[in-house]
């Protein structure tokens, strides 16, 4: 492994770093805002800075993260996505739940003439994001919830998807509908919450999703482009 | 669950808290030093202070942590154990690897007329600790390494047990030898490192340990006293 990229400052995004402290050397890329969150938590000094270089990931500008530059290397461009501030900073942030531009990002990853897009959390689909992901060879997209209120309906939570910074898969304002007219080679939902019925292989929701040309990511999945 | 007790400020001790952020209510007990480490890391604000009360665990003084006071409740007394500062704070601490008194603790837990002792990390066996754990009904003790240099010998690390704040199980200065003359109802090694041959059920080291009256803890273990 040569590089780790963080797409946000939620615990889900960052806590895994704490298991990577056995003197592995790698580059750690994140926006300046997320790097500041790491800096503000001394526990992440577990990643020895002599081995793990913390690299600011710019927005809307491509950087080489691994391998030689050019066709054989991997280049990454981070782009802002509507999201919200991490839950554990909400009290501190007060009412400003929309967060700043760098709070959530998507990644455009290019190598060998192919380009994939990775968007694990997206509160709404802006024209800029639509343009960015159109003609992608492979899109990984926020599949947290099927319905905005499914956690409330299931009694497993008190928050809507919108409140958590996630658009839903279904409905007229859902990702299946709003991404349906784009030309995308392959479309895979990620970050699927345990309340989401698409996780059940034989659910009607899974069938609907598959008919719309989408798949669900699975552990150990390998994809050839 | 009513209470969580931290026995130190290492990532092993604290990171599990990050998975307990789903609005569970409990009391979180740790020494003032460890509570300060938590305070210094905003990521632990994931544990909503309205639900998770952070309680300073005094040293050498018993407190009621759960249930009513007296015979039916659970009382805990924390006592200092020689250890070292957490790895991720070593650079900050400079050469002072011995850490302060509160860095590592053992727990004496009493309920229903029985008393157990829980000592997951212990750099050396002081007379005070020997006195404390003598006549325990059940002792859980630091079983990190069999030999002080086994990680170096196996090529899995560059540090001795002493350097990491752990006395070894074997040898004339090991825990089997130094605890052999105490009256303890049951003795179980915990915090066993993956380099330790006692993890192998049929190893000579496991047999030696069992002959000395010790067991190894296992996931899901239940103990009747």
Mean pLDDT over residues B25-29, rounded?
94
Cα gap B158→B149, rounded to integer Å: 9
Token output for A11: 């615990």
Residue B1: the pLDDT is: 77
Condensed to tens digits (0 to 9), the pLDDT of residues A98-108 reads 444 456 899 99
Domain ranges of chain B: 60-216
- Per residue in A54-91, pLDDT (tens digit) is 999 999 999 998 766 655 689 999 999 988 766 666 66
Residue of A nearest to B23 (CA): A157
Q: At B100, is the pLDDT very low, low, confident or very high (cuts 50, 70, 90)?
A: very low
Residue of A nearest to B16 (CA): A15
Query: Considering CB atoms only, which of B11, B89, B91 is closest to A21?
Result: B11
Q: Does domain A60-216 have CATH number 3.60.15.10?
A: yes
Local structure of residue A13 (DSSP, 8 states): H
CB B166, CB B144: distance < 8 Å: yes
Which chain B residues are within 8 Å of A20, Cβ to Cβ?
none
pLDDT of residue A97: 43
- CB contact, 8 Å: B21 with chain A? yes
Q: For residue A99, what pLDDT is reported?
A: 44
Residue length of chain B? 225
Q: Nearest CA to CA, how far is B223 from chain A (Å)?
A: 30
Tens of pLDDT, residues A82-118: 887 666 666 665 544 444 445 689 999 999 899 999 9
How many CB pairs lie under 8 A apart between chains A and B? 55
Say what the pTM is. Answer: 0.83
Q: pLDDT digits over A178-224, tens only?
A: 999 999 999 999 999 989 999 999 999 999 999 999 999 999 999 99
Nearest CA in chain B to A22: B157
- Contact between residue A36 and residue A49 where contact means Cβ atoms under 8 Å apart: no
pLDDT (average), residues B92-96: 53
Query: Is residue A40 within 8 Å of A63, Cβ to Cβ?
Result: no
User: Is 80 exceeded by the pLDDT of residue B99?
Assistant: no
Could you give the ipTM of this predicted complex?
0.80
Phi, psi of A74 (to 5 degrees): -110, 125
* Closest chain B residue by Cα to residue A10: B43
Q: How far does the CA of residue A142 sit from the closest CA of chain B (Å)?
A: 21
Q: What is the pLDDT of residue B94?
A: 53
Query: A65 Cβ partners below 8 Å, 6+ apart?
Result: A2, A3, A5, A27, A29, A74, A75, A76
How many angstroms separate the first and last alpha carbons of chain B?
Answer: 21
Residue with tokens 């509507």: A82
Q: What is the largest CA-CA distance in chain B?
A: 51
Question: CB distance from A21 to chain B under 8 Å?
Answer: yes
């Amino acid at each position: 492994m040569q590089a780790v990229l963080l797409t946000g400052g939620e615990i889900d995004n960052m806590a895994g770093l704490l298991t990577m402290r056995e003197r592995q050397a790698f580059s750690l890329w994140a926006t300046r805002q997320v790097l500041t969150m790491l800096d503000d938590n001394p526990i992440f000094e577990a990643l020895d800075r002599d081995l793990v270089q913390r690299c600011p990931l710019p927005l809307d500008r491509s950087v080489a993260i691994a391998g030689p530059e050019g066709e054989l290397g991997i280049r990454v461009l981070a782009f802002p996505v509507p999201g919200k501030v991490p839950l554990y900073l909400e009290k501190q942030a007060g009412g400003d739940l929309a967060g700043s531009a760098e709070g959530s990002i998507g990644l455009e990853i290019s190598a060998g003439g192919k380009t994939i897009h990775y968007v694990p959390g997206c509160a709404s689909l802006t024209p800029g994001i639509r343009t960015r992901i159109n003609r992608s060879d492979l899109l990984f997209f926020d599949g947290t919830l099927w319905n905005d209120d499914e956690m409330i309906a299931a009694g497993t939570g008190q928050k809507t998807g919108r409140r958590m910074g996630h658009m839903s898969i279904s409905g007229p304002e859902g990702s299946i509908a709003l991404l349906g007219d784009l030309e995308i080679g392959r479309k895979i939902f990620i970050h699927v919450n345990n309340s989401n019925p698409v996780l059940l292989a034989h659910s009607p929701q899974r069938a609907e999703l598959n008919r719309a040309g989408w798949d669900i990511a699975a552990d150990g999945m390998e994809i050839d482009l």
